[in-house]
Chains A and B, each alone.
Chain A
Amino acid sequence: MMTLTEQMITIAVVVLGTMLTRFLPFLVFPAGKPTPDYIKYLGRVLPAAVFGMLVVYCLKNVSFLTGSHGLPELIAIAVVVTLHSWKRQMLLSIAGGTVCYMLLVQMVF
């Protein structure tokens, strides 16, 4: 078991590491100076790709070969996509998909 000081240092290091990843771009490209065109370009095109990456990130522990084969996830995502294409109400799409998923994993699979 670590001492309290060692625990505090460990937590401080995690805070430092997290803040480094958040502040670094703003320190390297300060608001006063013109941002390089390449970085501006990345700022415009990255988000679409990053949102795709986050969707995959959410599904990273789903196993498509064993268990329920990712079916509850795929069905619930289909519900979200359908609801959102139809009504474009963020809360409705999210709530609909989540309730559907909960019913599926609690009652069906």
Chain B
Amino acid sequence: MKKKYAGALRAAFPYTVPIFASFWFLGLTYGIYMNVSGFSFWYPCLMSLTIFAGSVEFVAVSFLLGAFNPFQALAMTLMINARHLFYGISMLEKYRGTGLKKLYLIFGMCDESFSINYTAKIPPGVDKGWFMFFVTLLNHFYWFFGATLGGLFGSLVRFNTEGLEFVMTAMFVVIFMEQWFKDRQHTGAVGGLLLSAVCLWIFGPERFIIPSMAAILLALTFARGRLEKGGATEE
């Protein structure tokens, strides 16, 4: 039994190293932001544990600083996190049969956990469920660790990390490429890039995600006959 956990943890860890680099840094930034906004470290500590969705946690700071308006907070959260709906639809099959762990896998399905768990080539002999569990747990821990540290020592940190945030972009480019190598044809990948870029250009950085999702959904629905006939969707 013990061997099973250790094997899965050992297989999962290397995939999470880039996320360690970006999450402690982003988490730290978030904790510092909370700290200078006048909140005790308990806030980033508890919020990083319970929300675990980076972008919305940054926005939540402005909810907390503004007037009490839970409906607006809910609406904003749903909009920012709507992309998780896509992740869930994509993971329906992969999370199947993972037992109680499934609850935690869904709870912790941030962009990075989803991307790794969807694309990782899990070595034979390694338990799939535990692999995905450890990927999620490690990511969650990195985020929590950075956010709490930032909240505690926020005002003391001074070093030149300018540009480190690019680690996230680099990771998604690599994941995009891995998916590209796997697919036999690339309508979806190219469509996703182009449609999002066009929506970004039209709607601007704050509100392009929902239109992008709608455009992608429409395009994939219309292309279904062609894509399924072309054998692009075989597992």
| From B21, B52, B90, residue with most partner A Cβ within 10 Å | B90
A48-B189, A56-B197, A102-B163 given; A26·B17 CB < 8 A: no
Which chain B residues border A71 with CB–CB below 8 Å? none
Inter-chain CA distance A72–B73, complex, in Å, is 35
Which chain A residues border B167 with CB–CB below 8 Å? 94, 98
Q: Per-residue CB proximity of B163-205 to A under 8 Å, as 1/0?
A: 1101111111111111110010010111111111100100001
Inter-chain CA distance A37–B92, complex, in Å, is 12
Contact between B220 and A49, CB atoms less than 8 A apart: yes
Inter-chain CA distance A53–B209, complex, in Å, is 8
Contact between A54 and B172, CB atoms less than 8 A apart: yes
Instruction: Say if the beta carbon of B137 comes within 8 Å of chain A.
Output: no
Inter-chain CA distance A56–B83, complex, in Å, is 13
- A77: which of B57, B118, B169 is its contact (CB, 8 Å)? B169
List residues 203-235 of chain B with CB under 8 A from any CB of chain A. 205, 208-209, 212-213, 216-217, 219-221, 224, 227-228, 232-233, 235
CB distance from B68 to the nearest CB of A (A): 4
Inter-chain CA distance A51–B168, complex, in Å, is 12
List residues 45-82 of chain A with CB under 8 A from any CB of chain B. 45-61, 72-73, 76-77, 80-81
Instruction: Say if the beta carbon of B155 comes within 8 Å of chain A.
Output: no
Contact between B183 and A93, CB atoms less than 8 A apart: no
Inter-chain CA distance A60–B183, complex, in Å, is 26
Which chain B residues border A85 with CB–CB below 8 Å? 177
Inter-chain CA distance A76–B235, complex, in Å, is 32
- A11: which of B47, B87, B102, B119 is its contact (CB, 8 Å)? B47
Which chain A residues border B1 with CB–CB below 8 Å? none
The secondary-structure label for the interface of chain A is: helix
Inter-chain CA distance A89–B91, complex, in Å, is 25
Contact between B83 and A53, CB atoms less than 8 A apart: yes
Contact between B107 and A39, CB atoms less than 8 A apart: no
Inter-chain CA distance A13–B50, complex, in Å, is 11
Instruction: Say if the beta carbon of B84 comes within 8 Å of chain A.
Output: yes
Contact between A93 and B170, CB atoms less than 8 A apart: yes
Inter-chain CA distance A31–B93, complex, in Å, is 8
Q: Which of B74-82, B124-132, B138-146 contacts A (4 or more CB under 8 A)?
A: B74-82
Inter-chain CA distance A103–B174, complex, in Å, is 20
Which chain B residues border A31 with CB–CB below 8 Å? 92, 96-97
Inter-chain CA distance A46–B233, complex, in Å, is 10
Inter-chain CA distance A52–B90, complex, in Å, is 15
Inter-chain CA distance A67–B219, complex, in Å, is 34
Inter-chain CA distance A17–B88, complex, in Å, is 15
Closest 5 CB pairs of A and B: A52-B192, A49-B192, A25-B88, A17-B77, A102-B163
Between-chain CB contacts (< 8 Å), 6 pairs: A13-B70, A24-B88, A41-B224, A43-B93, A51-B192, A55-B172
A14-B73, A25-B88, A26-B106 known; 4 new pairs, CB 8 Å cut-off, are A31-B96, A39-B92, A49-B195, A50-B86
